[in-house]
Amino acid sequence: MTNLMRFLPRTERFFSLIPEMDIMGRFFDDLELPQIFRTEGDVLPAFDVAETEKEYTITGEIPGIEAKDLDVTLADGTLTIQGEKKREQEEKSEHFHRIEREYGSFHRGFRIPENVKTEELQAHYKDGVLKITLPKTEIKTKKIEVKEEKAAEKRETHVEVE
């Protein structure tokens, strides 16, 4: 396969030889953009966590994945969301033949508070957005009586020296 475009590392760019002319290179080096792909094939979707008086909501945009390819589990107080994206698109014409493949997987975990009704968790996926609803239980507070202990009496001993 031939390289259609060659990406030059920073040291090979012409403008890096003249620091005053490398303003744009330095700008993009310092710019921190959200990382969508960690390593080849890994996808890192962003999730939002919100809280209301009645529930917690975890929402994530995961376009291109079907609901059957998502796995949501709850174990030991951790909600785990996993998914894998696989897509192949082929286009043929008289003058060209193109095949595009996209793939990637992700794995995210969220620690769940104790005041969640775990038996009522719900997960819905529509138009590339996963929404997980975690209803809250009422927090029961227990008043603990504080008992006062009296300090041990100090015994004074007098020693008389003659």
CATH 2.60.40.790 is the classification of domain 36-135 = yes
What would the mean pLDDT of 111-124 be, rounded to a whole number?
91
Is 86 in contact with 103 (CB distance < 8 Å)? yes
**DSSP assigned state of 106:** E
CB atoms within 10 A of CB 154: 5
pLDDT digits (tens, 9 = 90+) for 75-90: 999 999 998 877 778 8
Minimum mean pLDDT among 65-69, 97-101, 105-109: which range? 97-101
| Average pLDDT over all residues of the chain | 76
What order of strands is seen across the sheet that includes strand 97-111?
Answer: 70-75, 78-92, 97-111
User: Which residues, at least 6 apart from 100, have a Cβ–Cβ distance to it below 8 Å?
Assistant: 88, 89, 90
Could you give the CA distance from residue 74 to residue 111 in angstroms, rounded to a whole number?
Answer: 10
Residue 34: pLDDT above 80? no
Residue 15: pLDDT above 90? no
What are the strands, taking DSSP E only, across 52-112?
55-61, 70-75, 78-92, 97-111
- pLDDT for residue 73: 94
Taking the C-alpha atoms of 117, 51, 58 and 54 in order, what is their torsion angle to the nearest 10 degrees? 40
Torsion angles phi and psi, residue 92, rounded to 5:
-120, 145
With tokens 């095949």, the residue in question is: 99
pLDDT digits (tens, 9 = 90+) for 128-160: 999 999 999 987 788 999 999 887 665 566 666
Choose between 98 and 27: higher pLDDT. 98
pLDDT digits (tens, 9 = 90+) for 48-83: 999 999 999 999 998 878 899 899 999 999 999 998
- pLDDT for residue 27: 54
Give me 41's structure tokens. Answer: 């094939």
- pLDDT for residue 30: 52
Could you give the CA distance from residue 79 to residue 111 in angstroms, rounded to a whole number?
Answer: 6
Residue 41: pLDDT above 90? no
Confidence of residue 1 (pLDDT cuts 50, 70, 90): very low
